[in-house]
Chains A and B, each alone.
Chain A
Amino acid sequence: MKSNYPEIYLDALDNLWFQVAGTICNLSCKHCFNNSGPLNHAFEFMSLQQCKPYIDEAVEMGVKEFYFTGGEPFANKELLQILEYTLQFGPATVLTNGMLINEKTAQTLNKLSSNSIYTLELRISMDGYTEEMNDNIRGKGVFKKTMNGLKLLYENGFLPIVTITKTWKGFEDDKILNEFIDTLKENGYKRPRLKILPPLKIGREVLRNKGYENYEYVNEEMLQDFDVSQLICSNSRLVTDKGVYVCPILLNSKDANLGNTLKEASKGYELKHQACYTCYLYGAICSNFSSGGGDA
């Protein structure tokens, strides 16, 4: 029997993601969609040896960008070596809370970036422009340490992208973004770049706020005249220590594990999860910026 869920095919492998820190993190943020934390070993750190074959396979397939996430990537001692290897082939982005970045790490990152023709992007998660607002979600003392990481990166030649999950209610986005910009400038990050993300209503976010409503699904009808290149499953895959998943969001969904190689994982995927609805609504939420606003 044919299911009612629309199936999305991998159009081209533009973005290769690595769950490089598994689900291991120095924080346990209240909105974390994949439940990362200090004690969560559902997915483990990945070594350079584990990453290499996937990078090589992706290069064969014509990949454009590499992304590294977790958990906290800088908790993985092999991250810098993995970045060095990756930057020979293409641009790399690390999604981090910035707390573990000290002067020496920032200098090493600068060197890695200078030695490559490709860009190295750092995406730093923050959830408030005040200590209180941020640390309420991310944990005590986090605001100061993240701010310090941002400043060090800026002083070492980076313009990190501050990534903010929209946890506030209402429509005052412009006002709140301006507060973020002012705070960042005051704390030594003079040219902030910002990216806002919608909350994914899975994982710990269900406890902090709420899960999806029953109607929040994607169906065939909704995809009529819709630019499917906005869905990351049409252009991305996620490599973990336990195989290749369809996307970073569905890490904890067993059916999203599509195989052990990128080739195996190039098959289509049915949008059967409610989190797919958020991706559908907002589009290209995981990548730094979309490659375009849709085919003409």
Chain B
Amino acid sequence: MHRKLALFGGVYSNYLALKEVIKDAQRRKVDEIYCLGDLGAFGPNPNKIFPLLVKNNIKVVQGNYDNSIGNDLEDCQCGYTDPRDNYFAKLSYDYTYNNTSEEFKAWMNELPPEWRLDLGDYSVLLCHGSPRKINEFLWETTTPTHFLEKLCRDYDADIICATHTGIHWSRKLTKNKYFINVGVIGRPENDGNTFVGYTLLEMDNDQINIQYIPVEYNYKQLAEEMRKEKLPEEFIETILTGWWTTCLEVLPGKERIKGKY
């Protein structure tokens, strides 16, 4: 048996990256494409995401952003605790909320909090933050292996896939279990590169293969459109340079030191 899935999160209204990711995944002949949530934030013109998801039959898990927009909440529930982080999160949320159509909002409201599927004998759980909390940050350097193994036991899954943090990683656990943070396609990973990426999860004769696929897109065009929408220069700088400029205080030290700010 052979199956191939494309997985990503954090679209952040980056429709240009979304188009390229879909194209790349289709070229690799994936069986299905899953988005693990957070459709809006940072980027321009959120409504451009909606038709791309629907037309390409992408299955979407609800992220905290989608839950907030879909339920007309006051803020994005991103889980920031720092005042500067919250200032930028608010700018981004208000812009996205005010520019999202009622139809898209209603659709977001209906999104499921998780997807479950089988890859041969492997039971796969797709969620946004963690299986227990929509906005839990699972960073590589703060998430113990035994903790992930407990999540697999508690939620009856062999492979757990999540996103939310913005930086991809994966770990093989004992007893042939896996955890995958599939990454985001809305903004680069704070490493000075402008590309984004998604995860290919492949099962071939009971062998699990996890591969991160970097994807180039027209980031200069996105920056132009962000300027036209008067989005903060700080967000544009991230798109143009690959370095995060905001929402930094939630990063653990080991992830933070790899960045510029």
Contact = CB atoms under 8 A, between A and B. Distances in A.
Interface residues of B, number: 38
Interface residues of A, number: 34
A292 B252 contact: no
Contact of A62 (B80, B83, B147): B147
Interface string A76-119: 00000000000001110000000000000000000001000111
B258 to A, nearest CB: 11
Contacts of A118: 141-142, 144, 254
A290 B150 CA distance: 21
SS class, residues of chain B in contact with chain A: loop
B253 A296 contact: no
B77 A91 contact: no
B144 A296 contact: no
B218 to A, nearest CB: 32
Interface in B96-147: 129, 132-137, 139-144, 146-147
Contacts of B254: 113, 118-119
Given A64-B147, A117-B141, A119-B254, A291 B79 contact: yes
A70 B261 CA distance: 31
B64 interface: yes
A74 interface: no
B43 to A, nearest CB: 22
A173 B68 CA distance: 29
A296 B252 contact: no
B67 interface: yes
Given A62-B150, A174-B83, A296 B134 contact: yes
A157 B137 contact: no
B54 interface: no
Contacts of A200: none
A157 B142 CA distance: 17
Interface in A274-296: 284, 288-296
Given A159-B253, A291-B133, A292-B136, A63 B144 contact: yes
Interface in B57-113: 64, 67-68, 71, 75, 77-83
A126 interface: no
A284 B81 contact: yes
B141 A296 contact: no
A193 interface: yes
A251 B254 CA distance: 31
A295 B73 CA distance: 13
A98 to B, nearest CB: 15
A267 interface: no
Interface string B233-261: 00000000000000001101111110001
B249 A289 contact: yes
B144 A90 contact: yes
Given A113-B254, A121-B252, A292-B133, A64 B142 contact: yes
Nearest to A89: B144
B253 A119 contact: yes
Contacts of B82: 289
A140 interface: no
B141 A89 contact: no
B81 A289 contact: yes
A91 B81 contact: no
A65 interface: yes
Nearest to A66: B144
Nearest to B255: A119
B147 to A, nearest CB: 5
A12 B147 CA distance: 11
Contacts of B80: 293
Given A193-B256, A291-B79, A59 B261 contact: no
Given A91-B141, A113-B254, A296-B135, A59 B79 contact: no
Contacts of A62: 146-147, 150-151
Interface of B: 64, 67-68, 71, 75, 77-83, 129, 132-137, 139-144, 146-147, 150-151, 249-250, 252-257, 261
